[in-house]
Structure 1
Amino acid sequence: MLCKSFKRMNACRSVRCFLTGLLILVITIILLLICKIRLQRIADTEAKGTLADLCYQYTTKRITGSLCQDLCDLETLKFKSSISGGSNKNVILMEWHNSLMVLKSRVRDQNNLSPLTVWETNENQERVLSAPTVDFFETVISNEVGSLLQTKLEGDKRGLIVKLSDEKYDPENEKPSVAYMNTLMNLVQQEEYVNFKFYRKLTEFPQVLGYCGHFYGVEYIPPDQMLSSITLRTYRNRMPWKHRAMIALKLLDLFTSLDGNFAEAAEETHMCDVKAENFGVGDNLEVKVIDGDMIFSSSKMKSILEEEDCSKHSDCDFFDCEGICEVSKGRCTNRRRNFNIQVLCRDIFNTGIRGTQLLSNPPANFKKSIRSEVIKCSHLSRQEWRDFKPESDPSMDLRQLLLDSCLLPTT
């Protein structure tokens, strides 16, 4: 009897412990949800304040832009939510003509950008903006973009401004306003805006739909829906292999199109932040870059890599762009030891812990060969390099396997 009593007591304790643990878990989840909701409300409030400030600056003629009137006067550009995710970048989801748009800026406050003009006090003791000459404006913009891209640009200074601006620019007949010049100056200090403008001919980059002040609007492409590990682990059985293989092929097309196509110049492009959330997948399985801050020309990449002291190669790494250390001199060289498609295979196509589940569970007769090609693409031997660049496209065989697997009957 005594033993049975002890067993009952232990069973009761186990049940109580389980229920207590379950209660603590439920309370924790509820508190986390409440915290998340409050943080989102705070972010939304800040975003609305930012939009109100943009309208104030527009109505007081301090900024300009093709989206300002829709945002402030016509109310056709409407706030949906802040999607900044706690980063320094300000990202706001908007509705525009019944479609979604993302308003973005590298900085929350334009005062964190270098102004083209300064406030001065006139003879009436009124604060007014100083107005630079057209030549000064064009020279500063050209120098800023040249410094940002560090590659030879086609055309003249005036043509460059026309390419970067969504508004009419004809200084021969109408001198640009101070608001216009300040707005463009704030925009060209943002790498992503300039990159998106120069890559506008490539369908793999979102279209810039306009701007208002230091914020620019791009088409909304849902991020991280088909490329993230968590999503694909949850939904991969619902997502046909053909769809996932097509996404992988589109990614290969994107990375191939970057080579020799930087800013319309014959330079290799370096993408130094290759992760799932930086790519979006549309309804038609079109893959697009949705975060373009870390895209550089070879000239820019060289200047970035050679700035550091080092004792080993990893000291020279710049995010996903891995550098080379000249150990005898203790300085990083200006050469990169990996390349874009290799990083794509390692961080996106790989189905291990580091990669995603995009290429997990392929058709049985392709499983071994696709895995082998992904590994080969991720870890090239030194013999396959020529001046730290592969002699041939290392993804060619992988591309063919993906194409062949798409021809199989849908399962």
Structure 2
Amino acid sequence: MRMKYFFFSWLAVFIGSWVVYVQYSTYTELCRGQDCKNTICDKYRKGVIDGSACSSLCDKETLYLGKCLSTRSNNQVYMGSWGDLEAVIKCQMEETLRFDLGADTEPRKEAVLFDKPTKGTSVEKFKEMVFSHLKAKVGDQANLLDLVGLIISVADGNKDGHISLPEAKSTWALLQLNEFLLMIILQDKEHTPKLLGFCGDLYVMEKVQYTSLYGISIPWIMELFVPSGARRSMDQWFTPSWPRKAKISIGLLEFVEDIFHGTFGNFLMCDTSANNFGYNAKHDLKMVDMRKIVPEVSFKDLIRDRHCETDEDCVYGMDCRTTCDQTKKKCTTEVIQPNLAKACQSLKDYLLRGAPPEIREELEKQLYSCIALKGTADQMEMEHSLILNNLKTLLWKKISHTKDS
């Protein structure tokens, strides 16, 4: 009996130690915040880069990287604080040399080494660089100069009315990132987190209080033993009350409107997972992660040369799918589902669970009509707008008289 107890005790210690080791190794691989800070601050102190967050991060140390939220080693994400403000800090650790539809990092067209613009570049030349880059990324639009002006105003980190070379290098690096560009484009929209500051290609954004559309956090050890089906059921049970879910859902529909043929073009939502959407204490939707929201123009430009054997080769993120032209063995450029259909797919179970009986049938009908949308939104603009407005109206009429609205 003693030998039996000794054996099982030893086995428990061995398994426990192995699990702790694996978790520690995973954490140290994913969470490289100190490496990120060291790299950024080294370049800042050498005068290579500058930005509104550099002094706080490297000199005053009032910008603090706290809890690690990274899911990829080359995309560092931390909950932190900047003085009295709670914030989220994001940092790019490695170069992404090309747009890779099979990768989980966001598409970046070129290596970002803070080597552009070069010494001697004038502000006017820098504006021309930004203009050309944006033209390739979001398309040739009449108001592109307005977007250049917005970016130049953000680039002036210390607000002294001048763009220094280090500030320009930081801005150029950040312009390779879709999320940074989208935060500038949508800076006045209520569902986009605010950009608080930057240093090099590290940027600081507003913290979102609730960081998933639904779900519950459980200890990682329990995650190992909970079946995926049971986990999905648990997630759906742990949601706000239905009127609050309706308000959050209206926010998501409004965000779809914001990026559909907005001021500076159309953007594609390539990952509509629940953990990319959050909300605040007032149950207003706030985007948590916009790295997989890509400009339609650059997406089409890059996917058309993608070699394919089947449709599965023509996927970016989780949700941006095109078809494979079997005669040419190339991906076509038109996404199968518009943003609205993907958003409705994410909201279906979320909204139908606990829906008031008097609107459940109509709500289900409208959601399935929305999910059935196919082809580009350009080709069905009227139907797209009608379905979106009908859904918003149905939800709003039901909650407009409640305190949750």
TM-score clears 0.5: yes
Cα distance change, pair 237–102 in 1 and its aligned pair in 2 (3 A): closer
Offset, 1:363: 2.4
Cα distance change, pair 228–21 in 1 and its aligned pair in 2 (3 A): farther
Offset, 1:401: 3.3
Please say if residues 270 and 321 of structure 1, whose CA atoms lie closer than 8 Å, have aligned partners that are also in contact: yes
Please say if residues 267 and 293 of structure 2, whose CA atoms lie closer than 8 Å, have aligned partners that are also in contact: yes
Offset, 1:218: 0.5
* Aligned counterpart, 1:387: 379
Query: Quick check: 1:203 aligned with 2:202?
Result: no
* Aligned counterpart, 2:220: none
Residues 49-101 of structure 1: CA deviation (Å, up to 9, x unaligned):
32133223222222111111112222221221322123421112221122211
Cα distance change, pair 399–234 in 1 and its aligned pair in 2 (3 A): same
* Aligned counterpart, 1:94: 80
- Counterpart among 247, 267, 270 of residue 269 in structure 1: 267
Cα distance change, pair 187–160 in 1 and its aligned pair in 2 (3 A): same
* Aligned counterpart, 1:295: 293
SS in 1 for 2:67: strand
Quick one: distance in 1 between partners of 2:148 and 2:362?
53
Query: Quick check: 1:159 aligned with 2:149?
Result: yes
Amino acid at match of 2:121: P
Please say if residues 210 and 218 of structure 1, whose CA atoms lie closer than 8 Å, have aligned partners that are also in contact: yes
Larger radius of gyration: 1
Cα distance change, pair 94–398 in 1 and its aligned pair in 2 (3 A): same
- Counterpart among 181, 192, 198 of residue 168 in structure 2: 181
Higher relative contact order (CA closer than 8 Å, sequence separation 6+): 2
Residues 167-224 of structure 1: CA deviation (Å, up to 9, x unaligned):
26788xx6x5432232222111222111211111211111111111111110111464
Quick one: distance in 2 between partners of 1:317 and 1:390?
27
* Aligned counterpart, 1:116: 115
- Counterpart among 383, 388, 392 of residue 399 in structure 1: 392
Offset, 1:395: 3.4
SS in 2 for 1:391: helix
* Aligned counterpart, 2:249: 248
Please say if residues 342 and 378 of structure 1, whose CA atoms lie closer than 8 Å, have aligned partners that are also in contact: yes
Residues 102-133 of structure 1: CA deviation (Å, up to 9, x unaligned):
12134447995144359xxxxxxxxxx84434
- Counterpart among 204, 210, 227 of residue 217 in structure 1: 204
Query: Quick check: 1:145 aligned with 2:138?
Result: no
Name the TM-score, length of structure 2 as normaliser. Answer: 0.76
Quick one: distance in 2 between partners of 1:50 and 1:395?
42
Quick one: distance in 1 between partners of 2:189 and 2:357?
35
Cα distance change, pair 65–143 in 1 and its aligned pair in 2 (3 A): same
Please say if residues 222 and 280 of structure 1, whose CA atoms lie closer than 8 Å, have aligned partners that are also in contact: yes
Quick one: distance in 2 between partners of 1:25 and 1:366?
53
SS in 1 for 2:121: coil
Cα distance change, pair 40–134 in 1 and its aligned pair in 2 (3 A): same
Which aligned pairs between 1:7-18 and structure 2 lie closer than 5 A?
A: none
* Aligned counterpart, 2:223: none
Quick one: distance in 1 between partners of 2:325 and 2:24?
50
Quick one: distance in 1 between partners of 2:301 and 2:95?
28
Cα distance change, pair 255–343 in 1 and its aligned pair in 2 (3 A): same
* Aligned counterpart, 1:3: none
Residues 339-395 of structure 1: CA deviation (Å, up to 9, x unaligned):
11101112x1232xxxxx45423223333332232222212479x998355634323
Q: Greater shift after overlay, 212-221 or 392-401? A: 392-401
* Aligned counterpart, 1:367: 360
Offset, 1:245: 1.5
Offset, 1:281: 1.3
Please say if residues 249 and 347 of structure 2, whose CA atoms lie closer than 8 Å, have aligned partners that are also in contact: yes
Q: RMSD of the alignment, in Å? A: 3.9
Please say if residues 303 and 331 of structure 2, whose CA atoms lie closer than 8 Å, have aligned partners that are also in contact: yes
Query: Quick check: 1:341 aligned with 2:340?
Result: yes
Amino acid at match of 2:251: K
Please say if residues 270 and 297 of structure 1, whose CA atoms lie closer than 8 Å, have aligned partners that are also in contact: yes
Please say if residues 225 and 280 of structure 1, whose CA atoms lie closer than 8 Å, have aligned partners that are also in contact: yes
Q: Greater shift after overlay, 215-224 or 132-141? A: 132-141
Please say if residues 214 and 236 of structure 2, whose CA atoms lie closer than 8 Å, have aligned partners that are also in contact: no
Amino acid at match of 1:295: I
Please say if residues 134 and 144 of structure 2, whose CA atoms lie closer than 8 Å, have aligned partners that are also in contact: no
Amino acid at match of 1:225: S
Quick one: distance in 2 between partners of 1:386 and 1:67?
40
Structure 1 unaligned spans of 5+:
1-15, 119-128, 352-356
Quick one: distance in 2 between partners of 1:380 and 1:197?
29
Quick one: distance in 1 between partners of 2:164 and 2:378?
51
Quick one: distance in 2 between partners of 1:300 and 1:251?
24
Quick one: distance in 1 between partners of 2:147 and 2:240?
49
Q: Greater shift after overlay, 238-247 or 315-324? A: 315-324
Query: Quick check: 1:81 aligned with 2:70?
Result: no
SS in 2 for 1:221: coil
Please say if residues 117 and 182 of structure 1, whose CA atoms lie closer than 8 Å, have aligned partners that are also in contact: yes
Offset, 1:147: 2.3
Cα distance change, pair 43–368 in 1 and its aligned pair in 2 (3 A): same
Residues 127-167 of structure 1: CA deviation (Å, up to 9, x unaligned):
xx844344443332332233232342432797354244142
Quick one: distance in 1 between partners of 2:354 and 2:400?
16
* Aligned counterpart, 2:227: none
Structure 2 unaligned spans of 5+:
98-110, 217-230
Quick one: distance in 1 between partners of 2:138 and 2:278?
24
Cα distance change, pair 410–280 in 1 and its aligned pair in 2 (3 A): closer
Name the TM-score, length of structure 1 as normaliser. Answer: 0.75
Quick one: distance in 1 between partners of 2:168 and 2:377?
46
* Aligned counterpart, 2:106: none
SS in 2 for 1:155: helix
